Amino acid sequence: MSAHPLTAPDTTIDVRSVFGLDVDMTVPAFSEGSDYVPAIDEAYQFDHDTTLAILAGFGHNRRV
């Protein structure tokens, strides 16, 4: 992988299935990874409030 080949997200993901948060929400995402994205750590637990705030900002194209 190298620098990200896409300039904007090209798909959406389900927040419940990807982040394990009990919300009905989809957010924009990139379909391809890059060197700037770390490997997925299956044991990591996302902080509910912080993650939801960040994803809501991404979902509504707002600064967070």
Q: What residue ranges do the domains of the chain occupy?
A: 1-36+43-64
Amino acid 3: pLDDT? 59
Mean pLDDT of the chain: 87
Q: How many residues in total does the chain contain?
A: 64
Structure pTM?
0.73
Q: Of the candidates 26, 29, 34, which has an alpha carbon nearest to the alpha carbon of residue 8?
A: 29
pLDDT tens, 26-46?
999 988 888 888 898 999 999
